[in-house]
Each structure stands twice: as C-alpha cells, then as structure tokens.
Chain A
C-alpha cells in the first residue's frame, strides 16, 4: 500500500484549484496531484503514491549516499556511520 514510485515531473497545471502534474514513470505518463509539493518544478523527480507526489527526490543527497556506499571496499573495517 505504501508503494511509492519515482517519476519525473513533465508538466505542471491546475485542476479544480489543485496543483496537478503529468509525471513520467520511465515512459508511462500519468496524472498526479502536487498539492503537497508547492515548490515542485518540471524536470524534478518525485515519489508518487496513490496519485499524489509526496517528496521531491534530493539528487545531491542521493549522489552523496551512493558515493559513500561505493567506498565501502576502500574503507575496509573502519567504515564510519553512513547516515
């Protein structure tokens, strides 16, 4: 139920006073409500759950975490806290 899938915002508009978006799930375009993401911009990735955007994915945070995880071998046993 709490399934949330990343999608790219391709268009923003308003319907019935609600902020809506067309979002792209790797080629499948669906409509989603963006009312909870007032600062969302076209081109950003969002987690969509039951037709609602819940967060804007933080690219910098994502890259930093992946870089840290990829260093695991280099760091050996002395791995610091990852988060």
Chain B
C-alpha cells in the first residue's frame, strides 16, 4: 500500500465509470471545488469518459487564482524594494499584476525567491539579518497551518526581520457565496480533500442542510474522484443531501485538531476580496493583533494605495465561479496562453484555464461535446 498506484488503477476506474453510468438518469452539474482535482480530471481525461449527463464544473479552489490583483500588485511593489527579500510559492511568480509580474521584478534586480515550505522563508530571514524577508502567505485552510507555524517559529526565534503578506481564504465561505448567487447552477459538490484533512467536514453539514445539496469529501486520484462522483450522483438520484466522506484514509470528521488550534492562535476570520469574484464576507484569515509586527502591509505603509488594472479580455472570474468553461473565453489559447497569461487561472498549476490548455482541450476533438 503506497497510496498512489491503487488509486490510478485502470480496471477500478472503468468499473466506477460503469457504475456511474448505471446510476445516472438525468443531467447533473457537479462542482469539484479544488483546482488540484480539476487538473487530475483533465489530465486523466475523466471529463471525457464520464456519462454525458454529468457536467463537471470547475470551482474556485485555486488560491493563486483568487488572490486579489491589489495584493499581487502589493507583492510586486514590496519585492522591488531594495531592503526586501521576497519569498513565495513558485506559482505566484508568473501571476500577472496590473503592469508586470514577480518574475519581471526578479529580472530587473529584485531579490525574489521561490520557497518549497514557509519554514524555508524563516531560514532565509535568519541567514539575512540585514534584510526584511517577506513571505507571500497565500492559500486555503490546507496551507494555513504551515504559514501560521512559520510566523510562530519566527517569533520563537526572535526574528524581527520576518513578515508576511497574508491572502488566506476559506472554502465554506466560497460554497456559501456560490450557492447564494443566482447565476451559479450547482447540484452537488465534490469538496476538497486536503482542506478537509485539516478542517474535517463538520463545517459542511450545515451547508448541505441549508442548501439541500450533497457534499462529498473527495480525494485527488482518478479512483478517488470517481468515488466522489458516484457517491454524489447516488445522493442526487435518491433525493438525499448529506455530507459523505469519499477520502476517509486522510479525512476525519473533526480534522487535524492541533493544526486548527494553531490557525486559530495566529489568524482570525475577516472579509476577503477574491479575484474575479469580489468581496465575500468572513471568507478568509488575517493576522491577529498580537502578530501585527509580522504584517508586511503594516510595516510598509507606503504600499497601501495601489491602483489596479485587470485585463478587459479575461473572463477568469466567470471561470472561477463555474459560469464559463475556459475554452468559452475568446482569448483562450490566443492572446492568453501559459506563456502570456491574461489571468491567474492560466498561470497556476491548479488553474482551470491552464489545465485546459496543457491537456489540449482547445482542440476540437478533445472537447466533451464533440465525442461519441
């Protein structure tokens, strides 16, 4: 048991597909929340193998994609300061700001470094006492415990030259916003397995109840995703709306309690702007007051007011809400490619547009509607 090959098994995948085919009688719109699931679905071709009645809608679960342009511009402004070493997960570097991206800052002499873990940023701060090391703390609940631990470590080690630019968002608030929007038609959710690994799934029970919608906690490999789809379709076909856990090897009802405790210790809930979607009330985290000394926005007040410019062509907001598929965008694969992205959804390894581009969904023969 190595927890990978077992879940990529072709025979099991085909059995699950056959069972889904047997179960489904009507069209259903299922949203996979996490961009990692979107990439897995498109890479393995599940979107083309599922029965035509099942429409997979790609959700907003890509932190790089939903980080608001204003914060990307702030990151770019901070990274350009000579006294700053700017550290970030790699995905953020190519995200277009209003006029350039973090790679362009690096190319013009800014000290911008990619880190694998936020603890690496703490190490960089320790090794460079004469510079301020800023870490771009983005992510959903999955990443929040790691980013929070970096702040606690910096404090424990007495590092005064470490700060974070926080852009943390949460999934339940996004599901609420989507369900409250009259333009979004979702019949069931495949919830994000690693967010729930940290948070558990107790938060989703009131949502399933309130909106009468099945929510199935789902993993990332093809067998996991089809398991989630099958459970969700079974619920829909029999008129149930409960939370089920199709990723039980990693997810428990209560989640990882020590991780939740550290999140609560460092962060508190706040309203957050989501790129392409707008402000969602109480949809993210900000630093608690006792950690203000680590807040890059407080330490560099000169970056407070920034005027932003979105590309008028980009429809990534509609893509993130599941209202449009990437290949419905007139700029997709033309003005907008991973080399020249107009929006963050074309950049991130979890962005839906990047998945469609990488796995050839711009080719007519690769579109679901054209098959069979």
Which B residues touch A16, using CB under 8 A? 153, 156-157
Counting CB contacts under 8 A, is A54 at the interface? yes
Cβ-defined partner of A51 (8 Å) among B12, B119, B259: B119
Contact indicator B231/A82 (Cβ below 8 Å): yes
Q: Is the CB of B251 within 8 A of A55?
A: yes
On whether the beta carbons of A1 and B139 are closer than 8 Å, the reply is yes
Q: Is the CB of B248 within 8 A of A1?
A: no
Pairwise interchain contact A62-B3, C-beta atoms closer than 8 A: yes
Contact bitstring B103-141, A, C-beta under 8 A = 1, else 0? 000000000000011111000000000000000001110
Contacts of B244 in A (CB 8 A): 81-83
B2 interface residue (CB < 8 Å to A) = yes
Within 8 A of A (CB), among B266-305: none
Chain B residues with Cβ below 8 Å from A6 are: 2-4
Complex alpha-carbon distance, A2 and B194, angstroms: 6
A32 shortest CB reach to chain B, Å: 8
**B249/A2 in contact, CB under 8 A:** no
In the complex, what distance in Å separates the CA atom of A8 from the CA atom of B4?
12
Is the Cβ of A82 less than 8 Å from the Cβ of B246? yes
**What number of B residues sit within 8 Å (CB to CB) of A?**
65
A residues within 8 A CB of B16? 69, 72
Chain B, 1-50, CB within 8 A of any chain A CB: 1-4, 6, 12, 15-16, 18-19, 22-23, 34-36
Chain B's closest residue to A6 (CB) is: B3
Contacting B140 at CB < 8 Å: which of A2, A45, A51, A83? A2
Q: Are A49 and B142 in contact (CB under 8 A)?
A: yes
- Complex Cα distance A45/B1, Å? 9
Q: Is B197 at the interface (CB under 8 A from chain A)?
A: yes
A4 CA to B251 CA, complexed, in Å: 13
Flag whether B146 is at the interface (Cβ < 8 A). Answer: yes
A79 at the interface (CB under 8 A from B): yes
| Bitwise interface map of A from 51 to 83 toward B, beta carbon under 8 Å scored 1, else 0 | 110110111011101100110110001010111
Let me know if A29 is at the binding interface, CB within 8 A. Answer: no
B258 to A, closest residue via Cβ: A36
Q: A residues touching B (Cβ–Cβ < 8 Å)?
A: 1-4, 6, 8, 16-18, 26, 33, 35-38, 45, 47, 49-52, 54-55, 57-59, 61-63, 65-66, 69-70, 72-73, 77, 79, 81-83
16 chain-A/chain-B pairs, Cβ below 8 angstroms:
A1-B64, A2-B35, A2-B350, A3-B350, A4-B197, A36-B145, A47-B194, A50-B117, A51-B146, A54-B197, A55-B250, A59-B249, A65-B249, A72-B15, A79-B19, A82-B230
- Excluding A1-B143, A33-B146, 20 further A-B contacts by CB distance (< 8 Å) are A2-B35, A3-B36, A4-B193, A4-B194, A36-B145, A37-B258, A49-B142, A49-B143, A51-B120, A55-B252, A55-B256, A57-B3, A57-B250, A62-B6, A65-B246, A72-B19, A79-B23, A79-B234, A82-B234, A82-B244
Complex A-B, nearest 4 residue pairs according to Cβ-Cβ distance, in ascending order: A51-B117, A62-B249, A6-B3, A2-B142
